[in-house]
Amino acid sequence: MRTLTCTSPGIFHFSDEPWPMAKPGYALIRILRVGVCGTDLHGYEGTQPYFQYPRILGHELSGEVVDPGGDDRFSIGEWVTILPYYSCGHCHACKQGKTNCCERISVCGVHEDGGMREYFQVPVTALVKSQGLGLDALALVEPLAVAAHGIRRASIMAGETVLIVGAGPIGIGLILFAKKAGARVIVMEKHAKRSAFCKKELDVHAVLDPSQQNTQELIYEMTEGAMPDVVIDATGNLQALENSFRFISHGGRYVLVGLQKGEIRFSHPEFHKRESTLMSSRNATRKDFENVIGSIADGTINPMSMMTHRIPFQETPSAFPALLQPDSECIKAMIVL
């Protein structure tokens, strides 16, 4: 079984490993697609929180069932994706249905080894049916579910103005689901390829470049002085996170989907006088996965155009450094096994 391990920052190593031994409650999946996530790239470069080496990356997965592990809801050869957040089921968060922020959560590809290998053993409780989606779309479900969860956290109502900061794959998912909720969407992105994609493919109200424009003044004009009802960060960049506090409307909400490794600072008086709401959004739940799969299946959203790169599995080590370059033309990369 061919396996790719990130042994230390910047270093990948291929090895041949034995097939996983069958164990109760676990299914065996033949991995056919691995979406490359910001988490994978940050893990590779050594900037990802909650990370230890060596680690097999990969949690945006699709493949076929080799052994359903005794679960008669699934059959051999069936295409599936997986919920990569393994929760305990017993803590306070889990009892409330918030399995995405379980106190003892283990995310495959982050806290434990993930799916950059030919065969992968996962809890049967993690399997998610394809509902007719193809392998590429199935591997996009997880990042889109993260976005859908962020929009659900924001409680967006039709007609509200939403500012989404960062138009990488998660940001694009946020745009798609904010628009589905009926919001007017403003995007802030300085990467030329991503800005052009948003303008051409996503029909947003405006795309602003913070490196070239006075974004605060422009947003003030666009909102007739009200500023956005909801601000969502999808960058995880410290400067972007802190700067975005100034865009929140009075009574507005700020949702942190991007993850910063350190501390953030903001003016309490400015935040307080707006009676603003600050919240984080972590991972996703099965409800979010089902929402995404249903939305792709019925054509409500179409994420396929954001996939710009297809990487053969054996070429992954040589492809990763280019994906990290600021001038990379990549929006979403997919590893094909």
Q: With 0-12 CB in 10 A as exposed, 13-18 as middle and 19+ as buried, what is 116?
A: buried
Q: Do residues 4 and 52 make contact, with C-beta atoms less than 8 angstroms apart?
A: no
Query: Using alpha carbons only, what angle is made at residue 319 by residues 18 and 256, rounded to the nearest 5 degrees?
Result: 95
- CB atoms < 10 A from the CB of 278, how many? 14
Of 234, 223, 225, 228, the C-alpha closest to 156 is 228
Whole-number Å distance between alpha carbons of 105 and 180? 30
Where are the domain boundaries for CATH 3.90.180.10 in the chain?
2-129+303-336
Please tell me the total number of residues recorded for the chain in this structure. 337
Q: Which CATH class is domain 2-129+303-336?
A: alpha beta
Q: With 0-12 CB in 10 A as exposed, 13-18 as middle and 19+ as buried, what is 23?
A: exposed
Q: With 0-12 CB in 10 A as exposed, 13-18 as middle and 19+ as buried, what is 106?
A: middle
> 138 CB contacts (<8 Å, ≥6 apart)?
33, 62, 79, 80, 81, 130
> 263 CB contacts (<8 Å, ≥6 apart)?
none
Where are the domain boundaries for CATH 3.40.50.720 in the chain?
146-280
Q: Do residues 174 and 313 make contact, with C-beta atoms less than 8 angstroms apart?
A: no
Q: In one letter, which amino acid is 42?
A: H
Query: Using alpha carbons only, what angle is made at residue 59 by residues 58 and 65, rounded to the nearest 5 degrees?
Result: 100
pLDDT in single tens digits along all 337 residues of the chain: 999 999 999 999 999 999 888 888 999 999 999 999 988 998 999 877 778 999 999 999 999 999 999 888 999 999 999 999 999 999 999 999 999 999 999 999 999 999 999 999 999 999 999 999 999 999 999 999 999 999 999 999 999 999 999 999 999 999 999 999 999 999 999 999 999 999 999 999 999 999 999 999 999 999 999 999 999 999 999 999 999 999 999 999 999 999 887 899 999 999 999 999 999 999 999 999 999 999 999 999 999 999 999 999 999 999 999 998 878 889 999 999 9
CA end-to-end distance (rounded Å), the chain: 12
Q: Please indicate, yes or no, whether the overall pTM of this predicted structure exceeds 0.85.
A: yes
244: tokens are: 């975005």
Q: Which CATH class is domain 146-280?
A: alpha beta
